[in-house]
């Protein structure tokens, strides 16, 4: 996901810096914007076994065909940035015709900034009703757009429809609960609560336990992988977490502490004492699953 986020950030910067080029030049949109996103999504953009440009259909040529298991899984239709793909119906209808006449179930329409994924056909439904998601890199939070775009990754696109439905249900539930007066922070905390029901806080440990898992509460519970089943392993995992979330001098000091701990034996009791000190000093909550 981090690679996709960085690619989306670069695409946003390109659009901001060279909007005039992308408004007039569809080929620049394809090469500079669309290609970068799909490569970050795990597609080998220059491999005809995965991506085929100018794919012929009965109604014309689709800009790209995404290939899975030797078959076309989805068509991608590109427009220049001057085309408002959200308001104009014809580009989406054109894409749907390509898909329908070729028996291809899914299509992606994009001008580089706005991305629309659509289910091409379903009896008794209108085209706009079959839109699976719309991601707008310029006009919605980047993390939200990136999460939706991730459904087009090579690893996830087979489950595109199911995942899009789950994401939509999450959005509707979240919005509904907000309207009922629940604060957003409380709902996010609820969703992020990943602590095991059997997890035990540090205050209840004696120093003789052999933990199976560790959790740290920092804007929600997070599961930490253990390098070994011991309180020393918990301490190592917590130090790694703190290093990743720290900067500058503090990060360097935590790294030194981690590397020192790797070289020396540490008793269970000492590891527990250090963990409790970290809880107090860092304002974290640490629990273990036994």
In a domain? residue 189 = no
150 class by beta-carbon count within 10 Å (0-12 exposed, 13-18 middle, 19+ buried): buried
Do both 139 and 223 map to the same domain? no
Write down the residue that tokens 């900067």 correspond to.
247
Range of the structural domain that residue 103 is part of: 2-166
Give pTM, 2 decimals. 0.67
* Run of H or E including 156: none
In a domain? residue 226 = yes
CB 51 within 8 A of CB 66: yes
What total of structural domains would you count in the chain? 2
The domain boundary residue, chosen from 144, 166, 188: 166
The domain boundary residue, chosen from 142, 166, 190: 166
The tens digit of pLDDT for each residue in 3-60 reads 899 999 999 999 999 999 999 999 999 999 999 999 999 999 989 999 999 988 887 8
Q: Using CA atoms, how far apart are residues 180 and 14, in angstroms rounded to an integer?
A: 40
- Residue-level pLDDT at 196: 54
Going through 36-113 in order, the beta strands assigned E by DSSP cover 51-57, 60-68, 71-78, 106-110
In a domain? residue 194 = no
Q: Which of 246, 212, 265, 210 is nearest to 278 (CA)?
A: 246
The tens digit of pLDDT for each residue in 207-257 reads 888 888 888 887 777 888 888 889 999 999 999 999 988 888 888 998 998
**Those residues with Cβ within 8 angstroms of residue 13's Cβ, 6 or more apart along the chain or in another chain:** none
The tens digit of pLDDT for each residue in 78-120 reads 999 999 999 888 888 889 888 888 889 999 999 999 999 999 8
In a domain? residue 180 = no
Tokens of 210: 């052999």
Query: Within 13 Å of residue 270, how many CA atoms lie on the same side as its CB?
Result: 7
CB 95 within 8 A of CB 50: no
Q: Provide the pLDDT confidence category of residue 204 given band limits of 50, 70 and 90.
A: confident
- Residue-level pLDDT at 151: 96
In a domain? residue 265 = yes
Do both 211 and 162 map to the same domain? no
Tokens of 50: 């995965």
Do both 133 and 220 map to the same domain? no
251 class by beta-carbon count within 10 Å (0-12 exposed, 13-18 middle, 19+ buried): middle
Which CATH number fits the domain that encloses residue 107? 3.90.1570.30
In a domain? residue 115 = yes
Find how far residue 227's CA is from the centre of its chain. Answer: 26
């Amino acid at each position: 996901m981090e690679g996709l986020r960085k690619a989306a950030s670069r695409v946003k910067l390109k659009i901001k810096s060279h909007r005039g080029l992308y408004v007039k030049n569809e080929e620049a949109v394809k090469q500079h914007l669309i290609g970068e996103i799909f490569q970050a999504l795990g597609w080998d953009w220059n491999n005809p076994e995965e991506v085929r440009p100018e794919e012929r259909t009965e109604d014309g040529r689709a800009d790209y065909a995404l290939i899975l298991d030797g078959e076309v899984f989805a068509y991608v239709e590109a427009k220049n940035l001057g085309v408002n793909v959200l308001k104009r119906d014809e580009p989406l209808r054109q894409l749907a015709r390509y898909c329908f006449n070729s028996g291809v179930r899914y299509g992606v329409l994009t001008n580089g900034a706005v991305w629309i994924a659509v289910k091409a056909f379903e009896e008794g439904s209108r085209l706009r009703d079959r839109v699976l998601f719309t991601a707008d890199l310029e006009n919605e939070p980047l993390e939200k757009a990136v999460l939706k775009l991730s459904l087009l990754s090579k690893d996830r696109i087979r489950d595109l429809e199911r995942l899009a439905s789950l994401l939509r249900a999450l959005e509707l539930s979240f919005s509904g609960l907000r309207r009922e007066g629940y604060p957003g922070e409380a709902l996010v905390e609820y969703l992020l609560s990943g602590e095991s029901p059997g997890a035990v806080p540090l205050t209840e440990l004696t120093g003789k336990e052999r933990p199976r898992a560790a959790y740290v509460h920092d804007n929600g519970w997070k599961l930490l992988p253990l390098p070994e089943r011991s309180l020393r392993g918990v301490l190592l995992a917590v130090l790694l977490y703190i290093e990743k979330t720290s900067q500058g001098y503090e990060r360097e000091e935590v790294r030194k502490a981690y590397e020192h701990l790797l070289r020396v034996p540490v008793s269970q009791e000492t590891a527990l004492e250090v963990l409790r000190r970290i809880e107090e000093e860092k304002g974290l909550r640490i629990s273990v699953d036994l």
